[in-house]
Every structure is written in C-alpha cells, then in structure tokens.
Amino acid sequence: MKLELRKDDATDDWWVITRALGLGEVREFGIERREYAGYVAHALTDSARICDADVEGYAEEMVAIAQAIQRRGVAQFKRCAVDAREDRVKFWSPRNSRKPGHVPFESAAVLAAQIMEQLA
C-alpha cells in the first residue's frame, strides 16, 4: 500500500496522511451511522483514509511521526499517532479513531522519507 502526505488547502499548516490512489481509482465519500453508548452519530467516510478517521496534524507533528517510523518507535498527538514497533505499522487518530489502520513497514518508511524531504 502506498501512502502520501497531503496538505489541506484550507489551512496554512495542516497535513493529512492518506492512501495514495492508484491509476483510475476514484476517491469515494459517504456517511456511516455509528452508535456510541446508546447514542447515534453519523461520520463522514473517505476511501483514502488509512484507518477509520483522518490521521492529520501540524507539520511538526508529521515530522515527529516520520521520526518515530524511522526509529521504529511511537509518536502520539491529538489527531495523529503511529506505532512502528512491529512489522505492520499502526496509524490512528487518538481523538477520532475506534481502531487503527495497519500498513507494511516498507510503506510507512517510504512515507517517512517523503515527510522528512517535504517538511523537515
């Protein structure tokens, strides 16, 4: 799975880690019904997400995510987190995820190099 770092066009310093779409692949959005402790909520879904929520944050947080991948460690912030201690790297949003997404270490390492080149 190829990952990419995308800049949010609406803000000066906000970045999102997503799946890179393949040739001819279209990004799809939808609404999902979720239940939390008896309450019903609706959440936006995005086919490019690597987990069930956006993994997003400021440039300095993305650099820390990249450094954690490179040293095979952990980094966690309000809306982005990574655990690279295993061969399958976990990505999630501590604020919004119910479960992490898993990608091969090789994919995460390529993303980390991209982040360092682009933001460090």
To which H or E segment does residue 42 belong? strand 39-46
Number of domains in the chain: 1
For 11-40, what is each residue's pLDDT tens digit? 889 999 998 876 666 666 666 676 778 887
Range 53-77 average pLDDT: 96
Q: What was the pLDDT predicted at 72? A: 98
Structure tokens at 19: 């799946």
- Parent domain of 81: 3-119
- Using CA atoms, how far apart are residues 60 and 57, in angstroms rounded to an integer? 8
Is 70 exceeded by the pLDDT of residue 115? yes
Helices (H), 47-103: 59-70
